[in-house]
């Protein structure tokens, strides 16, 4: 548990640079519960699927240059269904995106 959780704050954004991890925590969210996993595996599939089965949804994530990732999953999100795909190449720009 993080100190911010004791104060009613929830993780709303994460980033990583040079193996330094940053967490932004906010009080003004609809979130009610959170769980997170810092894994040496990029997007740990089994853990994510287990959390989906418990009613959590991915609310933010970040990866590092070494392939590890921090995945935050939350309850109280507006999401009703999720999926993800990991690709080795950069995705093409979606039509209409600038």
Mean pLDDT of 61-72: 92
Task: Show the domain range for 51.
Answer: 3-75
Burial degree of 52 (CB within 10 A; 0-12, 13-18, 19+): middle
pLDDT given for residue 45 in this prediction: 92
Provide the terminal-to-terminal Cα distance of the chain, rounded to the nearest Å: 38
The span from the CA of 18 to the CA of 54, in Å, is 33
94, part of any domain: no
Number of domains in the chain: 1
Model confidence, pTM: 0.82
Each residue's pLDDT tens digit, 1-34: 566 676 789 999 999 998 899 999 999 888 889 9
The answer to whether position 81 is within a domain reads no
* DSSP symbols for 17-77: ETTEEEEEEESSS---EEEEEEESSSS-HHHHHHHHHTT-EEEEEEE-TTS-EEEEEEES-
* 8 Å CB contact between 73 and 59: yes
In a domain, 83, yes or no: no
Whether 67 maps to a domain, the answer reads yes
Domain membership of residue 42 (yes or no) is: yes
80 lies in some domain: no
Indicate whether 86 belongs to any domain.
Answer: no
Three-point CA angle 77, 95, 70, nearest 5°: 40
**Is residue 69 a part of any domain in this protein?**
yes
């Amino acid at each position: 548990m993080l100190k911010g959780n004791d104060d009613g704050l929830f993780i709303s954004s994460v980033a990583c640079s040079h193996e330094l991890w940053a967490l932004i925590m906010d009080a003004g969210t609809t979130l009610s519960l959170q769980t997170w996993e810092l894994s040496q595996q990029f997007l740990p599939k089994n853990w994510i699927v287990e959390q989906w089965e418990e009613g959590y949804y991915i609310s933010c994530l970040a990866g590092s240059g070494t392939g590890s990732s921090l995945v935050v999953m939350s309850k109280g999100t507006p999401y009703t269904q999720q999926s993800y795909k990991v690709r080795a190449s950069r995705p093409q720009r979606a039509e209409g995106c600038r």
